[in-house]
Amino acid sequence: TVSQLETIKEEIKTKHVELLHLQFVDIEGTLKQVTVTAEQLDDVVEGETMFDGSSITGFTPINKSDLYLLPDLNSFAVLPWTEEADYSEARFLCSVTNPDGSLFEGDPRNILKKTVDEAKEKGFSINVGPELEFFLFEADDKGQPTQQVHDKGGYFEPAPYDLGERVRLEIYKTLKKMGFTIEASHHEVAQGQHEINFKFDDALTTADNATTFKWVVKTVAQQFGLRATFMPKPVFGENGNGMHVNMSLFDEKVGKNAFYDESDSRELSETAYSFIAGLLHHVPSFVAFTNPLVNSYKRLVPGYEAPCYIAWSSSNRSALVRIPATRGAGTRVEIRCPDPSANPYYAYASIAAAGIDGVEKSLQAPAETVDDIFSMSDEELEERGIENLPTTLGESIQALESGEIGKKVLGEYALNEYLSLKQDEWDSYRIAVTEWELDRYQAKF
Ligand code: GLN
Ligand code: MG
Ligand code: MG
Ligand code: MG
């Protein structure tokens, strides 16, 4: 709107913003940007900034490479670490458009928007609150990350064991200035591991926030001479980095959380149970989005608070889907397999689509799993019908290809780009000869 633009212009003037970074993400969720001078603002908001789509992973072929950036005015933020007395920089997150002004079908933001719009037509808005974990590592004298964790603190330990407290404080201050509502932060289970939680919001805003969050955490860590990583399993034998996704549907017609029903024994609605059933039914076919790396599957093993079986529970942290105790407006499901290397736009879109498919088809949730799944024998798992999540990227690519969710959410074009990227990654890993193999086999055989 005009007034929103006027407010932005005002801030540009008072904060002496000289440069504008126009940001978007590629199909892996990796942040990209082109920088323009603030004098270009009027042209920029008209969507007149062109770039080469063929140089962005998964975008366009070389013969149709011109794409344009359309800034989302809601995402305007002055970058706190650039602010000086009479100078600063700001950014916009952008949607990608075709030369004729239509939305580019390969842009992850557009893809999530489409899922959000489809849910709106069915009477639901989607709320998402993610929990992103990360490690802080020391850097070497060339500035590269080492394998040396930054501290020896553990779960909920305070300083002086927690050496990351100042880093988290600076991340908090930075994000707060950029408009985030930060709710909590703590040292996580593994040495050098941390978590900072920001408030839930609608799915698109939250995917934008997750993208910004990862960028800010890495930027601030670097200011402390450290390197932050959201890699799912950076240290063998320790907890990995999760991105639990808390999701709820809001019923637009009655103006209430659609998962809450006080008359049910667990105070969950039919919609909630069917949403859970949809998640459990479709999860194998969307883990290639929520757990996109070869390394993601080294986190999904028993014993590290990450799920490896397809089950739900109202409290059990060994289950894939947990229902946090909050009820009323805060009633939600927590899906625990995603990790923070996921493209958040694809992750939230595919989770929502899976759950909503369950709602539309009135799928019935299986029995709740109250016992610790990690300690069940294979026979017990089979008796209860509890199946495994895919155990490799190769398996999850196959499930994505044969499942319904990928095509429904991404469409044919973007899905094929994603599948071929991931297939290449898996093939490259599959034929690599690793340190582990040489250690184990070279001398013996
Ligand atoms: N780090 C764990 C994971 O991999 C989660 C631990 C927790 O938040 N309780 O998902
Ligand atoms: Mg948490
Ligand atoms: Mg955690
Ligand atoms: Mg959690």
Quick one: which atom of ligand 1 is closest to the CA of 240? 4
pLDDT band at 334 (very low <50, low <70, confident <90, very high): very high
Does the active-site annotation cover 317? yes
**Alpha carbons 77 and 73: distance in angstroms, whole number:** 9
Q: Is the pLDDT of residue 2 over 80?
A: no
Mean pLDDT over residues 162-167, rounded?
Answer: 94
Q: Which of 28, 133, 151, 170 is catalytic?
A: 133
**Each residue's pLDDT tens digit, 4-17:** 999 999 999 999 99
Q: Determine if the pTM surpasses 0.80.
A: yes
Ligand 1 pocket check for 238: Cβ under 6 Å: no
Q: Is the pLDDT of residue 284 over 80?
A: yes
CA distances from 230 to 39, 77, 242, 293, 372 (A): 36, 23, 9, 12, 27
Q: Which ligand neighbours the alpha carbon of 243 most closely?
A: 1
Does the active-site annotation cover 131? yes
Does the active-site annotation cover 10? no
Q: Which of 299, 305, 308, 320 to mutate to test the pocket of ligand 1 (most atoms within 8 A of CB)?
A: 305
Q: Is the pLDDT of residue 109 over 80?
A: yes
Question: Which residues pair with residue 91 across a beta bridge?
Answer: 21, 77
- Whose alpha carbon is nearest atom 10 of ligand 1? 242
Ligand 1 pocket check for 395: Cβ under 6 Å: no
Alpha-helical (H) ranges within 49-184 are 108-121, 165-177
Report the residue count for the chain.
Answer: 445
CA angle 175, 115, 416 (to 5 degrees): 100
Taking the centre of ligand 2 as the mean of its atom positions, its distance from the CA of residue 337, in whole angstroms, is 13
Q: Which of 150, 281, 336, 417 is catalytic?
A: 336
**Each residue's pLDDT tens digit, 117-134:** 999 999 999 999 999 999
